[in-house]
């Protein structure tokens, strides 16, 4: 047994009280096994991982339970001994590489540091091994890129460096906390294949924390579903997807976007995960569960073993409570999949405005970054990040821009909003609502940005850590919507949080107090605050779990129907593209290689690169 967690309870002291982030968790992972931990953002998945590694914040502690790694209870050992375990016996791929990598160290040195600390290789041998790992995780020109700093890499490339650091000492147990969140599908496939190969070679165990259920079906042997700090269902992967038992599991699967659901709302789960500092009396899902019974609000459910490998925490399966209360009309039978209805009966999105003049027109757009060398930093060449791109977006239309990490997608988004002036050599034209953005500046440009906003890929890096959420959201409204008075602005802020699935008390919190998915929701609310006509969405759902992703996609679709908001949707999640986009443009090496209607691109891709992208998508295997 590589990992055995028994009765783990982790608490965090906060201003609101004691947060019971993980409560009575028990799980075991064998050599060579992949165990997936899934659930909504804020359920305690990442805290469980940090507990195993003894990397909890100063105000966090393991209150009860044991964590056995290879025969050693790491809860009981000293920090000096834990440093030998951490990195060699167990390692982690963190969710946010931008905040996990040292910004003042070259990436090659960061990998070399791990190799020298935990393996016999030293000096040039360790350096060569670090470069080898960069190549294995898909970094092009690894010898050259080893000299780069993290800020010189794209989000996906930083994630690959983080993976190389975690794997460099070839640990017995790898904790992968959203390991492919920032990666496009082709690199994601390379990384997943690499992880599988390592498991075959070294019988490495893996605890996989992810919100991508397609990855779970491909990678995991067993699945545990968490909700509000508790594990609510454990099963073999095939059994979990073929016969989900807990109502929460059934609702998650119903919330997945796909082509067949285009034009109608996704079955988003109402409400949010309850705050974990409150005292729970009954079932923690009771307020959101469509199958709630009176007993659910007063009796805490225990994990019930239906067979040797399938456990569920729900009174529907407890013989003492089954059938105690009459089920509502149309309720499920025990053991069948829950039919979750769409929350609103909305019509198919209207594109009546498509015949109007284009909202955004980009023509022959080029962004070339200078390469500087020597003592005087003279320009010796250019990186052609975007090399002659043309496209247009009509009012109320969604254009999806897809392609591998580093192909220029994010550069286009930033360039359109004129955020790269003075940094790169830019040519071509950008026209927004009939106004040439590339020819204006100062107040005129600031006023134009009321029409177009951006949701950045990395929410932690784009949110000011010293500003509360209320200040972050209000800043844009004060600058771009000065006609809104203070009272109306306060009401608008509360409405924004509800729209993106956050509680109102989040207004007084700082970014570090949120999970990765919750920070992304704050970033989305900030973009929506000034009611723009165009939103550039740079991986807006990459850090979100399935249920919140459904809420956000429903919100974006609703805004498009009601307000005619247009989207430039930059993403590597083609399941989201299938559901949301009207037009798809596929980028490679700074150029658009194929573009057209979504139905045509997805069903009959003409370019070999597009076909390779579609073939790399992990698909959810549904029960027959």
Residue 106, exposed/middle/buried by CB under 10 A (0-12, 13-18, 19+)?
middle
CA distance 300 to 240: 23
SS (H, E, C) 60-127: EEEEEEEEEECCEECCCCCHHHHHHHECCCEEEECCCHHHHCCCCCCHHHHHHHHHHHHCCCCHHHHH
Pick from 340, 374, 530: nearest CA to 453 = 530
pLDDT tens digit sequence for 506-558: 999 999 888 767 888 888 889 988 889 999 999 887 767 787 788 788 888 88
Q: Is the pLDDT of residue 179 over 70?
A: yes
Q: Name which residue leads in pLDDT, 594 or 459.
A: 594
The pLDDT confidence band at residue 341, using thresholds 50, 70 and 90, is very low
In this structure, the number of other CB atoms found within 10 A of the CB of residue 76 comes to 9
Residue 339 has a pLDDT of 40
Percent of the chain clearing pLDDT 90 (strictly above):
50
Angle CA 226–227–233, to nearest 5: 50
Indicate whether 389 pLDDT > 50: yes
The domain defined by 352-615 carries CATH number 3.30.70.3270: no
CA distances to 390, 434, 512 from 48, rounded to whole Å, are 46, 52, 18
Residue-level pLDDT at 109: 96
Q: CA 12, CA 251: separation in Å to the nearest integer?
A: 29
Number of other CB atoms surrounding residue 601 within 10 Å: 26
Question: The whole model's pTM is what?
Answer: 0.75
pLDDT at residue 178 in the model: 84
- 262-284 pLDDT per residue, tens: 878 888 887 778 888 888 999 99
In the block, residue with structure tokens 């962004």: 367
Are 534 and 450 spatial neighbours (Cβ–Cβ below 8 Å)? Answer: no
Domain boundary assignment for the chain: 101-169, 352-615
pLDDT band at 58 (very low <50, low <70, confident <90, very high): very high
Q: Write down the pLDDT at residue 354.
A: 44
What confidence category does residue 78 fall into, taking pLDDT thresholds of 50, 70 and 90?
A: very high
Averaged confidence pLDDT in the chain = 86
Distance CA 404, CA 587 (A): 8
Mean pLDDT, rounded, for 494-505: 84
The torsion angles phi and psi of 44, rounded to 5 degrees, stand at 110, 10
Using one digit for the tens of pLDDT, what is the confidence trace for 571-616?
877 788 888 899 999 999 899 999 999 989 988 999 999 998 888 8
Query: Is the separation of the CB atoms in 366 and 388 below 8 Å?
Result: yes
């Amino acid at each position: 047994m590589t990992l055995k967690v028994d009765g783990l309870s982790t608490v965090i002291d906060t201003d609101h009280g004691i947060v019971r982030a993980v409560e009575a968790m028990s799980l075991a992972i064998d050599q060579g096994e992949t165990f997936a931990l899934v659930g909504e953002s804020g359920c305690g998945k990442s805290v469980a991982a940090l507990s195993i590694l003894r990397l909890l914040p100063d105000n966090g502690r393991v209150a009860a339970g044991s964590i056995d790694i290879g025969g050693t209870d790491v809860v009981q050992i000293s920090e000096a001994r834990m440093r030998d375990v951490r990195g060699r016996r167990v390692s982690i791929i963190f969710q946010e590489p931008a905040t996990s990598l040292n910004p003042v160290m070259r990436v090659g040195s960061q990998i070399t540091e791990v190799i020298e600390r935990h393996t016999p290789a030293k000096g040039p041998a360790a350096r060569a091994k670090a470069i080898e790992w960069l190549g294995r995780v898909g970094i092009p020109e690894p010898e050259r890129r080893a000299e780069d700093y993290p800020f010189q890499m794209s989000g996906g490339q930083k994630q690959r460096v983080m993976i190389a650091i975690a794997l460099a000492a070839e640990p017995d147990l790898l904790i992968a906390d959203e390991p492919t969140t920032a990666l496009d599908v082709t690199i994601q496939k390379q990384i997943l294949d690499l992880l599988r190969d390592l498991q075959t070679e070294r019988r490495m165990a893996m605890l996989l924390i992810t919100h991508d259920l397609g990855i779970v079906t491909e990678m995991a042997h067993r699945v545990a579903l968490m909700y509000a700090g508790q594990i609510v269902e454990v099963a073999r992967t095939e059994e979990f997807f073929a016969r989900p038992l807990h109502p929460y599991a059934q609702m998650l699967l119903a919330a997945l976007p796909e082509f067949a659901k285009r034009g109608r709302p996704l079955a988003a789960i109402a409400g949010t995960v309850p705050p974990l500092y409150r005292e729970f009396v009954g079932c923690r899902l009771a307020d959101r569960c469509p199958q709630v019974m009176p007993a659910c609000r007063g009796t805490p459910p225990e994990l019930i073993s239906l067979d040797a490998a399938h456990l569920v925490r729900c009174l529907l399966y407890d013989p003492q409570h089954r059938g105690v209360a009459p089920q509502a009309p149309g309720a499920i039978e025990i053991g069948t999949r829950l039919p979750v209805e769409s929350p609103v009966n909305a019509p198919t999105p209207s594109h009546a405005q498509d015949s109007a003049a284009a909202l955004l027109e980009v023509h022959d757009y080029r962004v070339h970054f200078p390469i500087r060398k020597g003592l005087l930093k003279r320009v010796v060449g250019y990186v052609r990040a975007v090399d002659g791109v043309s496209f247009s977006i009509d009012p109320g239309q969604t254009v999806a821009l897809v392609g591998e990490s580093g192909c220029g997608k994010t550069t286009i988004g930033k360039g359109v909003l004129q955020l790269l002036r003075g940094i790169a050599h830019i040519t071509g034209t950008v026209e927004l609502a009939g106004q040439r953005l590339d020819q204006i500046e100062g107040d005129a440009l600031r006023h134009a940005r009321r029409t177009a906003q951006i949701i950045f890929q990395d929410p932690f890096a784009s949110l000011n850590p010293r500003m509360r959420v209320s200040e972050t959201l209000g800043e844009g409204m004060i600058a771009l919507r000065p006609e809104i008075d203070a009272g109306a602005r306060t009401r608008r802020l509360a409405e924004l949080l509800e729209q993106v699935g956050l509680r109102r008390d989040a207004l007084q919190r700082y970014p570090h107090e949120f999970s990765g998915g919750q920070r992304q929701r704050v970033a989305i609310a900030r973009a929506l605050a000034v009611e723009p006509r165009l939103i550039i969405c740079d991986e807006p759902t990459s850090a979100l779990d399935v249920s919140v992703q459904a809420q956000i996609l429903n919100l974006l679709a609703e805004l498009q129907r009601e307000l005619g908001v247009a989207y430039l949707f930059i993403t590597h999640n083609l399941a989201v593209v299938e559901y949301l986009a009207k037009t798809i443009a596929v980028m490679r090496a700074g150029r658009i290689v194929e573009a057209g209607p979504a139905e045509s691109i997805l069903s009959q891709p003409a370019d070999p690169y597009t076909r390779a992208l579609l073939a790399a998508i992990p698909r959810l295997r549904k029960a027959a």
